[in-house]
Amino acid sequence: MILNIKDTVIIGIGNILLQDDGVGVHVIKQLENEMLPSTIELVDGGTSTLDMLGFFLDFKKVIVVDCLRAGLKPGTIYKIKPEDIMNYKKENLSIHDVQILDVVKMANMMNKYPEVIIFGIEPEKIDLDLEMTQTMISKIPEIVLNIKKELKIK
Amino acid sequence: MSTIVLDPITRLEGHLKISVTLDTTNNVTAAEATGNLYRGFENMLVGRPPSDAAFLTQRICGVCPVSHAIASSKATEQAAKFTPTLQGLLLRDLIQGANFISSNILHFYQLALLDYIQGPQMHPWTPGYSQDFRFNAADSQTLMNNYVAALSIRRQAQEMGAIFGGKLPHVGNIVPGGVTANPTTTEIANFKKYLATITTFIQTAYKTDVNKLATAYSDYYKIGKGYGNLISYGVFDTNAAGAKLFPAGTVTGGVVGSFAATNIKEYVGHSWYSSASGSNPASGATTPKYGKAGAYTWLKAPRYNAVAYEAGSLARTWISGDYRKGISVMDRHLARYTETSKIATNMSTWISQVKVGVSGYTKLVAPATGTGIGLTEAPRGALGHWVSVASSKISKYQIVTPTCWNASPMDDAGKVGPIEKALIGTHVANNAQPVELLRIVHSFDPCTGCSVHVMSPEGIEMSNFVVQPL
């Protein structure tokens, strides 16, 4: 529908009402101030992960930023490619809650295979608050840097 | 990265756990629904301008943000004694209609259908149940093809909603005062184009598939009935005087009756709250007390005249007279199709009534004091926001979501909630694959897809099933 010169989309996922859970959305807000190249689209996906499918169909590269609880130190940044874990069959690997992987599979079923990179951030606290913890706030620049590095910006 | 262990419980909206007890003949004798939607979201709104609520409450749940924005806007508008123009109401209908279509199609194809057919043999569809699949290979393939087609249609419904809703998924244009959109000829033409494609899918593929399901699983007309009481607040304003495509009402013991918000009371005898039990949301409070004796959920138990009611498509279509065949798992699916088709047809009327170059927004002077109730429907049922304003700030805010009605716990009189009631009496053929329970829970379209984990209790006769979202 729209003539698009953009080839990369960065999607922030999370609930801004739940403190560190909203980190993805907060990263998008920061990226809006970073004067990124015009080939990059920024999306505040909020809590509607399954609605993000369209972006996986239209863009060559999709970067997802989300809160990810794996048990390591709060503020730990994880970088995952879906293919690293998608077909990894192990009893204790519970990927059913990772809706974003469902979306990747749905895109694949529609014959679209964008390059997907997930930046997951270990939360310190998920509670009712619009403010993230200091741990998480202080990590934002590092997350932004990692995304820029991934996109080879500067 | 073979050492990663993921345990991502980050999507807290709509986490639902179901535990049931079985007797020696494998029939469900007791059921408990545990919701983790802690109601403290409402307390966060206190002290903010009323107009903030339409944006913030959308964030509570990613599945029906549009309905939250509308309920919140309506509550503030009532407090300000204001009604949007017909243009504003029609634009809301079109955005909300797009959301209903998108949500109902997602529910049937992406969430419910895989309880009946086997998905591709790969993650995230495996490991899954292999129990009670009745379609032959050809029918399964057709349904899977439409599963993929539905993804595309659903996406088009989203894009259609964004034409007047602004950004998605959390819309920016629905505010107290109406809709801040000024339709152009091109936008209207694009909207009609999307709608035509979507309507064709609904009235061909969706219609055929839901009927195919109903034929193959006709025993599910007798499973998961529950109380049989239905409630709707009404949705889709068709004029500024309050007429609605699906009117408000109740169905009690088979009799269609009127609805009045004053008859709603919320009980917390079995919920983790210490606030008073049995209050109307207008005067209700939300004080958490986790671990309270006898409590097992963060959901309160809303009741209408002290009785438990089921909310959703079946309630809306029964009250409107569009679908009155019965109340069961399969009736819920057929009612959802019936309503989707009716909404699509009416959206075509609404889009032709929308005026070019006329804003849907009228400047609303925020109320300094007052109270308001915003009632609408989310795809999965009755949604209400209750607001009190003092010194131009929110002094009290209460939200009763559809899943609060359907997945509500036992009330103070010992009556279980609608989903709990629908599970009780169900026969489970195979303890290791309690697909019957999953199908019942899914038919209510609770906030998120659910999976069942079986916990082995000490005793031999009793099993414990726990349903958790995907």
Of A47, A68, A84, the CB nearest to B1: A84
- The answer to the question of residue A141 being in a domain is yes
Q: Is residue A2 part of a domain?
A: no
CA distance B133 to B429: 13
pLDDT reported for residue B15: 60
Residues 60-89 of chain A whose Cβ lies under 8 A from any Cβ of chain B: 66-71, 78, 80, 84-89
Of A44, A68, A96, the CB nearest to B124: A96
Cα Rg, chain A, nearest whole Å? 15
pLDDT of A94 above 90: no
Chain B residues with CB-CB distance to A95 below 8 A: 6, 123-124
Q: Which two tokens stand for residue B82?
A: 């204001």
Which residues of chain A does B56 touch, with a Cβ-Cβ cutoff of 8 Å?
A: 17
> For chain A, how many structural domains are there in total?
1
* Between B434 and B39, residue with greater pLDDT: B434
A67 vs B8, B20, B199, CA distance in Å? Answer: 8, 32, 37
Lowest mean pLDDT among B130-139, B208-217, B410-419: B130-139
Instruction: Taking residues A131-140, report their average pLDDT.
Output: 95
Alpha-carbon gap, residue B178 to B85, rounded angstroms: 7
Please report, as a single letter, which amino acid is at residue B41.
Answer: F
- Is the pLDDT confidence value at B423 over 60? yes
Report, as an integer, the average pLDDT of B68-89.
96
- Residue A99 pLDDT > 50, yes or no? yes
Tokens of B408: 């509500």
**pLDDT for A88:** 47
pLDDT of residue A79: 84
Please work out, in degrees rounded to the nearest 5, the angle formed at the alpha carbon of residue A84 by the alpha carbons of A57 and B107: 45
Task: Read off the pLDDT of residues B374-391 as tens digits, 9 standing for 90 and up.
Answer: 999 999 999 999 999 999
Q: Does A124 touch chain B (CB under 8 A)?
A: no
Average pLDDT, rounded, for chain B: 86
Q: What local confidence, expressed as pLDDT, does residue B177 receive? A: 96
Which of A4, A13, A48 is the mutation pick for testing B, counting most B CBs within 10 A? Answer: A48
Q: Does A58 touch chain B (CB under 8 A)?
A: no
- N-terminal to C-terminal alpha carbon distance within chain B: 23
| Cβ pair A30, A140 in contact under 8 A | yes
State yes or no: pLDDT of B20 exceeds 50: yes
Considering the domain boundaries, does residue A3 fall inside one? no
Q: Is A65 contained in some domain?
A: yes
Q: Is residue A94 part of a domain?
A: yes
pLDDT digits (tens, 9 = 90+) for A2-24: 556 889 999 998 888 888 989 99
Q: Give me the domains of chain B, ranges plus CATH numbers.
A: 16-469 (1.10.645.10)
Amino acid occupying residue B147: Y
- A63 lies in some domain: yes
Q: Is the pLDDT of residue B13 over 50?
A: no
Contacts within 8 Å (CB) and 24+ apart, A125-129: A125/A19, A125/A20, A125/A74, A126/A18, A126/A19, A126/A20, A126/A21, A126/A67, A126/B10, A126/B12, A127/A18, A127/A19, A128/A17, A128/A18, A128/A19, A128/B38, A128/B40, A128/B41, A128/B43, A128/B44, A129/A17, A129/A18, A129/A19, A129/B44
3 state DSSP class of B412: coil
Q: How far is CA B470 from CA A102, B10, B172, B181, in A?
A: 10, 12, 29, 36
How far, CA to CA in Å, does B171 sit from each of B67, B81, B163, B383?
Answer: 10, 24, 10, 17
On the 0-12 / 13-18 / 19+ scale of CB atoms within 10 A, B221 is middle
In a domain, A19, yes or no: yes
Rounded Cα distance, B163 and B322, in Å = 29
Name which of A14, A51, A97 is nearest B168 (Cβ-Cβ). A51
Collect all residues of chain A within an 8 Å Cβ-Cβ radius of residue B59. 15-17, 46-47
Instruction: Decide if A95 and B123 are in contact by the 8 Å CB cutoff.
Output: yes
Tell me what percent of the residues of chain B surpass a pLDDT of 90: 66
Map residue B316 onto helix, strand or coil.
Answer: helix
pLDDT band at B89 (very low <50, low <70, confident <90, very high): very high
Query: pTM for this one?
Result: 0.87
The whole-angstrom separation of Cα B438 and Cα B106 is: 17
Mean pLDDT value of segment A56-85:
86
Per-residue pLDDT, averaged over B248-252, amounts to 98
Helical packing angle, B185-201 and B86-105, nearest 10°: 30
* pLDDT above 50: residue B351: yes
Comparing A114-123, B84-93, B256-265, the range with the smallest average pLDDT is A114-123
Q: How many CB atoms lie within 10 A of CB B84?
A: 24
Contacts of B120 in chain A (CB under 8 A): 109
* Greater model confidence, B100 or A89: B100
> Residue B207: CA atoms inside 13 Å, Cβ hemisphere, count?
11
- What local confidence, expressed as pLDDT, does residue A93 receive? 36
The pLDDT assigned to B419 comes to: 93
Mean pLDDT over B456-464 rounds to 23
Q: Do A21 and B159 touch (CB under 8 A)?
A: no
Poorest-pLDDT segment among B20-29, B240-249, B299-308, B454-463: B454-463
What is the CB neighbour count within 10 angstroms for residue B218? 10
Rounded (5°) CA angle B25-B449-B20: 25
B137 near A CB under 8 A: no
Q: Give CA–CA dist B33/B408, Å, rounded.
A: 7
Give the whole-angstrom CA distance, residue B304 versus residue B282: 14
Averaged pLDDT, B341-368: 96
As given in the structure block, the two tokens for residue B33 are 């629904």
**Structural tokens at position B194:** 């999307």
Q: What is the mean pLDDT of residues B43-52?
A: 91
Could you give the percent of chain A with pLDDT greater than 90?
Answer: 42
Angle at A121 between CA A120 and CA A127, to 5 degrees: 125
CA torsion through residues B132, B135, B138, B143, sign:
negative
Least CB–CB distance from B155: residue in A54, A126, A129:
A54
The predicted structure's pLDDT at residue B170? 77
Chain B residues close to A4, C-beta within 8 Å? none
Span B138-157, mean pLDDT? 92
So what's the pLDDT on residue B65? 86
**What are the C-alpha distances in Å from A95 to residues A91, A141, B101, B165, B438?**
10, 28, 28, 33, 19
Q: Which residue of B has its CA nearest to A93?
A: B5
| Matching residue, tokens 């998605």 | B168
Is residue A120 within 8 A of residue A70, CB to CB? The reply is yes
| ipTM, interface predicted TM-score of the complex | 0.77
- Pairwise pLDDT comparison (A78 vs B49), residue with the higher score: B49
pLDDT of B73 above 90: yes
Place of tokens 């990265």: B1
B242 CB neighbour count, 10 Å cutoff? 12
Q: pLDDT band for position B259 (50/70/90)?
A: very high
- Judged against a pLDDT cut of 60, whether residue B3 lies above it is answered with no
**Residue B447: band (very low, low, confident or very high) from pLDDT cuts 50, 70, 90:** low
Lowest mean pLDDT among A82-96, B189-203, B221-235, B385-399: A82-96
Query: Which member of A46, A105, A130 has the closest CB to residue B62?
Result: A46
We report the CATH number of the domain holding residue A134 as 3.40.50.1450
DSSP notation for B244-303: EEE--EEEETTEEE---GGGEEEE-TTBTB-SPSSB-TTT----B-TT-TT--BS--EEE
- DSSP H helices, B80-201, are 86-105, 137-165, 185-201
Confidence bin at B43 (pLDDT 50/70/90): confident
- At residue B22, the pLDDT reads 87
What does the alpha-carbon distance between residue B403 and residue B410 come to, in Å, rounded to a whole number? Answer: 14
* Rounded average pLDDT over B250-262: 96
Average pLDDT in the B6-11 region?
A: 24
Q: Which of B69-73, B287-291, B442-446 has the highest mean pLDDT?
A: B69-73
Examine the pLDDT at A81 and tell me if it is beyond 70: yes
* Mean pLDDT calculated for residue range B177-185: 97
Contact status of A140 with chain B (Cβ, < 8 Å):
no
The predicted structure's pLDDT at residue B122: 58
The answer to whether the Cβ–Cβ distance between A88 and B2 falls below 8 Å is yes
Who wins on pLDDT, B63 or B274? Answer: B274
Identify the three-state secondary structure at position B307.
strand
Q: Give the range among A110-119, B41-50, B455-464 with minimum mean pLDDT.
A: B455-464
B1–A80 CB contact, under 8 Å: yes
Confidence (pLDDT) at B41: 77
Query: From B156, which residue of chain A is nearest by alpha-carbon distance?
Result: A54
Structural domain that includes position A12: 8-150
Residue of B5, B9, B10 best to disrupt the A interface, most CBs of A under 10 A = B10
* CB–CB contact B56 A50 (8 Å): no
Of the ranges A112-121, B84-93, B121-130, which one carries the lowest mean pLDDT score? B121-130
Whether residue A102 is contained in a domain is answered as yes
Which ranges constitute the DSSP H helices of A2-139?
A: 23-31, 53-58, 82-85, 99-109, 134-137
